[in-house]
Structure 1
């Protein structure tokens, strides 16, 4: 059951601002799970990341407490800063009326088009950096191949209840193909799009919303970016991104047996999103078509 925040996020933002001597509270961004408010105080500007619910039950986060994602966002923002990855510096996590609110520095965005090649170079840096020394929420304590196969099968089964789709190969076959030939795990963001990057003159100044992060092969990230690039609002040029990724020292192999499964994981997730969370018949049909084609490759 989804537990709704009793007070609105605006109420929570105003209450936190009052505690911190801040004012001029404005809504600066809204996602599926979190809203972001900006405030101003005598000590400067700061942002409040506030969950829509105390627990999330979405395509990406099923029965996940908001506090866990807030703690992870804070930890990965610090990890990014420590490793020279563009990020807003976290300040602290506070509780307001039982709601976990993450306070961050403000990184301005000029609204310009994201330079996908520049983003690709930053992502290469992320993939080369050491893995963080803590458990990632989306990993659920499992090896990456087990986690990926399990969630792919679960999402696919749900999608198949409503749409005509071919049967997936047996679990053992999927598992074997995932484990064959993939690169070593690195930290992958897995939700890279214009909405999750603060930009100035095209350059990425801050990457945020690490809710989907996994320790997994970099190919999984790149496959996700390729599928995301079909959505205009995501502001991604896949060819430019890939060029920047390689120039930045990134390395992937799209010729392994696991590549179609990595791509299928992205297409299945997006088909589910555009079928239910953000209904869009055109994009739903695009990704259902992609799903059918990719399953045919397995």
Structure 2
């Protein structure tokens, strides 16, 4: 799962845009008679559809809308490499008891989009039980990360990647909103983040309801490994906290009642800045939402003030 080199000089204007028809064209060899195709969702980079048939179970397709990813959060990532990573980590999840949909196939033609085909798990609106989620995340963090080279890590140490991206994303936010004082440099962040390179685990890094396939409060599948990293679990727990998911029941399931204490120290605050800056950029630039952007920018400002206070005390 080694990442392919980033082609930073490729312009968005030269890229081919792919649609559902392009993805369906890759399924011709399967000779499927499709009754309906319904969009389940997707993010900025990928589309997800469920295909329904007469007399057989539905399947889910995931494919990129274009090859190279360029936005204010990420520059020059290869969507094919990310989709191949999703395939590999879903297979790995099954092997080690992490809930995941079954992988039906991975199509990688010479032309056109790569397509990941997985089983369709019927879900409901009942939220995943936080205690169960905490136990599953703990199990994930106990697995070896040996041999995994996440695309989002860009071939670097986690501390280097996180520091660079946090600094770059704060600079994007500063184009839209005034941030307090002098922003921490990537060198300052990398210095404080160095401990996340110790005892690395495989981190999902997008633990939110949109990526939980669940029924009756039970997690049946953890999907979308695009943001995966190999780092100390504190980085993931900081993201869960910024997503609002670090509840007492989650902490109990995870097996620790002292998670928030670590997140108030310089290391924890730097980890939280990584997520806070990303979310602010999403709602300012990638999926603009004025009210959410206001909330996320305020959160980023609050964390910057907290980091400045504890750094001055130290």
Shift, 1:245, TM fit: 1.8
2:311 paired residue number: none
2:163 paired residue number: 149
Name stretches of at least 5 consecutive residues in structure 2 with no aligned partner: 1-10, 308-314
What do the CA deviations read for 1:245-284 (whole angstroms, capped 9, x no partner)? 2279x99943542001111111111111111122222221
Contact 2:263–2:272 (Cα < 8 Å) also in 1 = no
Partners of 1:237 and 1:253 lie apart in 2 by 13
SS at match of 1:56: strand
2:213 paired residue number: 198
2:131 paired residue number: 117
Shift, 1:82, TM fit: 0.9
Partners of 1:181 and 1:191 lie apart in 2 by 17
Match of 1:260 among 257, 266, 269: 269
RMSD of equivalent CA atoms: 2.5
Shift, 1:161, TM fit: 1.8
Shift, 1:197, TM fit: 0.9
Q: TM-score, normalised by structure 1?
A: 0.88
Match of 2:113 among 99, 108, 111: 99
SS at match of 2:80: helix
> Is 1:65 aligned with 2:65?
no
Name stretches of at least 5 consecutive residues in structure 1 with no aligned partner: 230-235
1:34 paired residue number: 46
> Is 1:246 aligned with 2:287?
no
User: CA distance change for structure 1 residues 35 and 185 in 2, over 3 Å: closer, same or farther?
Assistant: same
Match of 1:211 among 226, 229, 243: 226
Contact 1:14–1:25 (Cα < 8 Å) also in 2 = no
Shift, 1:181, TM fit: 7.9
Partners of 1:182 and 1:147 lie apart in 2 by 11
Match of 1:19 among 13, 25, 29: 29
Shift, 1:41, TM fit: 7.1
Q: How many residues in Structure 1 have an aligned counterpart in Structure 2?
A: 290
User: CA distance change for structure 1 residues 134 and 105 in 2, over 3 Å: closer, same or farther?
Assistant: same
Contact 1:182–1:253 (Cα < 8 Å) also in 2 = no
What do the CA deviations read for 1:195-225 (whole angstroms, capped 9, x no partner)? 1110010111000100000001111111111
> Is 1:49 aligned with 2:62?
yes
Partners of 2:203 and 2:229 lie apart in 1 by 6
